[in-house]
């Protein structure tokens, strides 16, 4: 299992050390919230640039914004690997196109109430499909186990159609729920509060892996 820590629950007054503490992570998950698409505001491209400067781990940018097309260029930094956009956001298809033009890997995500059947047509364009296992907006929420059906469906669709996206899950992952995620077929787990609320982060990441 690959681990992508979400720095949403990190101590932003000590971000350099917080990022150092997750040196064995596979990716760093960057949650961008605009206070409109979701009822919370996180941080913007300026902070993302600073994070990119101090880390050599690839970044996994999750755009929870009303119009991702406005922001994709600003987030297309050298060590950004994936840019993920919501099916429920504006200019969804144009955003996918822009991510590809910027030579970044395309992530597609759906909120808990959105079905996998809504994104069938675009799965062929995806390098990553992110299944939200909480309502987007906040760290520290409870895992929704029924979202694992989406993981199983995405795994089946990948096999049937020879797609090659990674399946990622985001929200409420801890040492117990990660086992269920693994069983269902998740490749990458985003982990926020469970990880940042503990002190020996490298050890927690190793155990989760
Ligand atoms: C929720 C974010 C998640 C969140 C994960 O809107 O997309 O990445 O920070 O945090 P935990 O692991 O605490 O649920
Ligand atoms: Zn996220």
What is the torsional sign of CA 149, 72, 80, 143?
A: negative
φ and ψ of 111, to 5 deg: -70, 165
Mean pLDDT in residue range 26-34: 98
Please give the positions annotated as active site. 31, 170
The whole-chain average pLDDT of the chain stands at 98
Ligand 1 pocket: which residues have CB below 6 Å? Answer: 6, 8-9, 29, 31, 62, 134, 136-137, 139-141, 170-173, 190-194
> Counting runs of H as helices and runs of E as strands, what totals does the chain give?
8, 8
Tell me, in angstroms, the distance from the centre of ligand 2 to residue 133's CA: 10
Give the pTM.
Answer: 0.98
Q: Which two tokens stand for residue 131?
A: 């299944």
* H or E, element range at 144: none
pLDDT tens column, 68-97: 999 999 999 999 999 999 999 999 999 999
Q: What is the pLDDT of residue 157?
A: 98
Q: What is the pLDDT of residue 166?
A: 98
Q: Please name which ligand lies nearest the alpha carbon of 208.
A: 1
């Amino acid at each position: 299992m690959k681990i992508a820590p979400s720095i949403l629950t990190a101590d932003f007054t000590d971000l350099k050390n917080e990022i150092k503490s997750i040196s064995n992570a596979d990716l760093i998950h960057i949650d961008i919230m605009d206070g409109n698409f979701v009822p919370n505001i996180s941080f913007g491209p300026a902070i993302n640039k600073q994070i990119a400067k101090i880390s050599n781990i690839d970044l996994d940018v999750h755009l929870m914004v009303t119009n991702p097309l406005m922001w994709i260029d600003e987030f297309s930094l050298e060590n950004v690997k994936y840019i993920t956009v919501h099916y429920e956001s504006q200019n969804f298809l144009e955003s996918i196109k822009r991510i590809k033009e910027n030579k970044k890997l395309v992530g597609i995500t759906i909120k808990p109430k959105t079905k996998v059947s809504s994104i069938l047509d675009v799965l062929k364009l995806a390098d990553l499909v992110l299944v939200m296992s909480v309502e987007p907006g906040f760290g520290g929420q409870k895992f929704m186990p029924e979202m694992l059906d989406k993981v199983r469906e995405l795994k089946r669709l990948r096999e049937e159609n020879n797609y090659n996206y990674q399946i990622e899950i985001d929200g409420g992952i801890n040492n117990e729920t990660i086992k269920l995620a693994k069983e269902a077929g998740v490749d990458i787990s985003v982990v926020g509060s469970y990880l940042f609320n503990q002190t020996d982060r490298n050890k927690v990441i190793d155990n989760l892996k």
